[in-house]
Amino acid sequence: MKNVVLTTILLIVSTATNAHSGENPALQLEKKRSYILQYQKEYQTTATQEEKIANLHKQLRTLQSTIVLLRSSLASENSSFVGNRDEFGLNYFAALSDSLKDTRQLLKQLEDVMD
């Protein structure tokens, strides 16, 4: 239980730090999306239950970080983006859609682990 609490606290602190790093959010989202796709491919080759759970944990952390980044970017941009795009050319709705697709894939994989 201590590990779960400590991991959660560290995750929140690191996510908040990443969300306010000042980097181009479009590039950050592109990186996070590539990590998710890589983790999903790796999941297919995992052999043990422990490896599957570790992989799912990485996916979940990355998705959470993606959503926090999107939320922070939208909050900082206010209404300054035109036609779903901001000054960096980031389409927030497409990025949110990708995150939701990735979440659905993660849930399917989680169901496999639970069976």
pLDDT at 77: 62
What is the C-alpha to C-alpha distance for residues 99 and 3, in angstroms, rounded to an integer?
27
Instruction: Tell me, yes or no, if the pTM score tops 0.75.
Output: no
Between residues 34 and 103, which one has the greater pLDDT?
34
Q: What percent of the chain has pLDDT over 90?
A: 23
Mean pLDDT for the stretch of residues 23-36: 92
Please state the domain count of the chain: 1
Mean pLDDT for the stretch of residues 71-97: 68
pLDDT at 111: 81
Between residues 72 and 27, which one has the greater pLDDT?
27
Q: Are 10 and 37 in contact (CB under 8 A)?
A: no
Residue 16 has pLDDT above 60, yes or no: no
Per residue in 31-62, pLDDT tens?
999 999 999 999 999 999 889 989 988 998 99
Parent domain of 97: 2-114
Question: Is residue 49 exposed (0-12), middle (13-18) or buried (19+ Cβ within 10 Å)?
Answer: exposed
pLDDT at 41: 96
Question: Is residue 52 exposed (0-12), middle (13-18) or buried (19+ Cβ within 10 Å)?
Answer: middle
